[in-house]
Amino acid sequence: MEVAEINSIKAYKKIIIYYFSGTGNAKNVALWFSQVASENGIESQIHNIAQIDRRSIDQPEPGALIVFVSPIHGFNYPPIMLNFLLHFPKGKNKVVLMNTRAGMLIGKFITPGLTGIAFYLAALILFIKGFSIKAILPVDMPSNWISLHPGLNKRTVIYLHQRNKVRVETFARKVLNGKWHFKALIEAYDLLLAPIALGYYVAGRFILAKTFYASSDCNNCDLCIKVCPVKAIVKIDDRPYWTFNCESCMKCMSNCPKKAIETGHGYVAAFVFLFSTIILVAFYKLFDLYFFPIENSIIRMAAESALSIGFIAIWYRLIHWLLGFKSFERIIVYTSLTKYKWWGRRYKALKEQEFRN
């Protein structure tokens, strides 16, 4: 970088970065942004919101640039970040919003993920609190959601890290020069995902929380319980048990030394079949018989959401108990796609020495 360019970065004397990260993508983005600031003599603080008191947040220093970085879950910021923003103290600071979303690779073309309503909702919350949004940037880091798709290969992971580091650094220099950046708003189609984001928030995330289980390969090291950023894993029947607090950040699955944590695709498929063909049918027949026909679509959605959450809780508890029987446990394991090498590549964000050109 030229001396003139370094000297021009004087818009802020301090930046404060708050991030949430499961497998390390958002953490890397926070570090890359912070490094640009530090290289140009700007004081930088980084806070992992999973490790601080989220109910008692320090008032931001006047004049400091505030940066929020989080992955996208269900086309929105995850509840831990949304709750953090809701409890964030009022202020007049300028704010940068960033996210990490499911990046893929076709040849050398990075297919963008979808941000959904994350920027719009976060901006509204912060605007009401008195802040002004300075810039936004979605970052298409490698997707870690192997519950829903095969894990990415090493070449793809390295390439996405290399390209995105350069992109974040370029963005950081522009923002720290005092410039605005709102190019991501041209992706206005993200607003069409609002109904899906709402559905994920009220029901989908709770169902996904119950897709994880520990196979007999688990040696009870309890690492998953210790590293869970939202303390969503407990011990029941001497095995890890995922509660509804789970945010599906994939940290447990990616850090398990025995690769014992799987996604139960087989028993999830069985749940969907039973719920849609028996539970829902019986519910509406009984409800119509003893109460009244449910015509309103909003009421139907609320009723089905509540019913699905209740049924998955019972179903998951039953499955967890049955996992204690070896023959049943083997059936569950071999109907889990994450068990197979061609699908279940575990993912953790790379350190710089692992992807440096």
Model pLDDT, residue 228: 96
Same domain, 169 and 203: no
Mean local confidence (pLDDT), 71-81:
96
State the Cα–Cα distance between residues 26 and 101, nearest whole angstrom: 9
Q: Considering the chain, what is the average pLDDT of its residues?
A: 93
Same domain, 170 and 101: yes
- Please indicate, yes or no, if residue 335 is contained in any of the structural domains: yes
The one-character DSSP state at 150 is P
Q: How far apart are the first and last CA of the chain?
A: 18
Domain count, the chain: 2
- Please indicate, yes or no, if residue 344 is contained in any of the structural domains: no
State the Cα–Cα distance between residues 94 and 240, nearest whole angstrom: 42
State the Cα–Cα distance between residues 339 and 333, nearest whole angstrom: 7
**pLDDT tens-digit profile of 43-66?**
999 999 999 988 889 899 999 999
- Please indicate, yes or no, if residue 357 is contained in any of the structural domains: no
- Please indicate, yes or no, if residue 308 is contained in any of the structural domains: yes
- Please indicate, yes or no, if residue 279 is contained in any of the structural domains: yes
How large is the angle between the packed helices 326-334 and 265-274, nearest 10 degrees? 90
Question: Which pairs with CB-CB distance under 8 Å and at least 24 residues apart come from 51-54?
Answer: 51/229, 54/80, 54/83, 54/84, 54/87
Model pLDDT, residue 3: 43
Contacts of 171 (CB under 8 A, 6+ apart): 33, 135, 137, 181
Same domain, 175 and 40: yes
- Please indicate, yes or no, if residue 355 is contained in any of the structural domains: no
Task: Report yes or no: 141 and 103 within 8 Å, Cβ to Cβ.
Answer: yes
% of the chain at pLDDT higher than 70:
96
Task: Report yes or no: 101 and 139 within 8 Å, Cβ to Cβ.
Answer: yes
How would DSSP label each residue in 46-98? EEEGGGS-TTSPPPPPTTPEEEEEEE-SSSS--HHHHHHHHHSPP---EEEEE
State the Cα–Cα distance between residues 299 and 268, nearest whole angstrom: 25
State the Cα–Cα distance between residues 338 and 83, nearest whole angstrom: 31
CATH of the domain at 249: 3.30.70.20
Task: Report yes or no: 115 and 187 within 8 Å, Cβ to Cβ.
Answer: yes
Which uninterrupted H or E stretch holds 172? helix 154-176
Model pLDDT, residue 9: 61
Give the domain extent around 296. 198-339
State the Cα–Cα distance between residues 78 and 223, nearest whole angstrom: 22
pLDDT classification of 7: cutoffs 50, 70, 90: very low
- Please indicate, yes or no, if residue 262 is contained in any of the structural domains: yes
Same domain, 188 and 272: no
Stated pTM of the model: 0.92
- Please indicate, yes or no, if residue 73 is contained in any of the structural domains: yes
State the Cα–Cα distance between residues 118 and 98, nearest whole angstrom: 9
Mean local confidence (pLDDT), 12-22:
96
Handedness of CA 287, 290, 291, 296 (dihedral sign): positive
Number of other CB atoms surrounding residue 354 within 10 Å: 12
Q: Which of 193, 208, 238 is the last residue before a domain boundary?
A: 193
CATH of the domain at 93: 3.40.50.360
Encoded tokens for 162: 């290399």
Task: Report yes or no: 117 and 194 within 8 Å, Cβ to Cβ.
Answer: yes
Model pLDDT, residue 340: 97
pLDDT classification of 357: cutoffs 50, 70, 90: low
State the Cα–Cα distance between residues 244 and 264, nearest whole angstrom: 16
Region for 143 from its dihedrals, namely left if φ exceeds 0, alpha if ψ lies in -120 to 50, beta otherwise:
beta
Q: Which of 136, 168, 193 is the last residue before a domain boundary?
A: 193
Same domain, 301 and 272: yes
Mean local confidence (pLDDT), 166-188:
94
Same domain, 84 and 176: yes
Same domain, 134 and 241: no
Same domain, 175 and 121: yes
Same domain, 236 and 219: yes
Is the pLDDT at 71 greater than 70, yes or no? yes
Mean local confidence (pLDDT), 133-157:
95
Is the pLDDT at 271 greater than 50, yes or no? yes
Model pLDDT, residue 211: 97
Mean local confidence (pLDDT), 267-290:
89
Same domain, 274 and 179: no
Same domain, 231 and 177: no
**pLDDT tens-digit profile of 220-247?**
999 999 999 999 999 999 999 999 999 9
Model pLDDT, residue 290: 63
Same domain, 7 and 47: yes
**pLDDT tens-digit profile of 110-140?**
888 999 999 999 999 999 999 999 999 999 9
pLDDT classification of 106: cutoffs 50, 70, 90: confident
Q: Which of 139, 173, 193 is the last residue before a domain boundary?
A: 193
State the Cα–Cα distance between residues 147 and 283, nearest whole angstrom: 29
Task: Report yes or no: 9 and 33 within 8 Å, Cβ to Cβ.
Answer: no
